[in-house]
Structures are given as structure tokens and as C-alpha cells.
Amino acid sequence: MNNETTNNVGGIAADRLRSIIERVERLEDERKALGSDIRDVFTEAKSAGFDVKVIKQLLKLRKQEPAEVEEQETILDAYRRALGI
């Protein structure tokens, strides 16, 4: 069996495909590890007396553009006033 046959099966570059699959698998493993690390940080925050739900809201807000945050707060305020809250 020659090298070209090993690397190209049915028009598919087998080595390239294997490389891509293995990279995705490594990244998925890293994502699992990071998820565990994030949960640990939230546990630490909770044990320090912080409200984890509020921290998650703050993280979400920090990802948004300031104008978008301001618009949402304005709408939320209007809805609260309409409901008498």
C-alpha cells in the first residue's frame, strides 16, 4: 500500500480529517475542564457570600455594548412603571 492510498481514501484526505477530529476532541476536553473551573469559581463566590445569579447577570451585561445595556434598562424601567413595581 503506498502513502497516497493511506492519505487519500475515496477522495478524502484521511490524515487531514483525522487531524481535525483529534483537534476538536482536544478542544472539547479543554471546554469540559474550563466548565469545571468556572463552576468552582461560582462555588467559591457563593461561599464568600456573593449571589451567583447576580454575578451571572453582571457577566452577561459586561458582554453587551453599553448602548444595548442602556436601552434594555430603559425598557425595563418603563415596564416596571407600567406595572407599578
**45 shares a domain with 6:** yes
What whole-number distance in Å separates Cα of residue 17 and Cα of residue 23?
10
23: number of Cβ within 10 Å: 10
Q: What is the pLDDT of residue 11?
A: 77
**34 shares a domain with 2:** yes
Summary mean pLDDT of the chain? 91
For residue 55, give its domain range.
51-85
Does the model's pTM come out above 0.95? Answer: no
**35 shares a domain with 7:** yes
What radius of gyration do the chain's Cα atoms show?
A: 24
**1 shares a domain with 21:** yes
Q: What is the pLDDT of residue 1?
A: 46
**32 shares a domain with 5:** yes
**38 shares a domain with 55:** no
Domain count, the chain: 2
**18 shares a domain with 46:** yes
Residue of 44, 81, 73 whose CA lies nearest to 57: 73
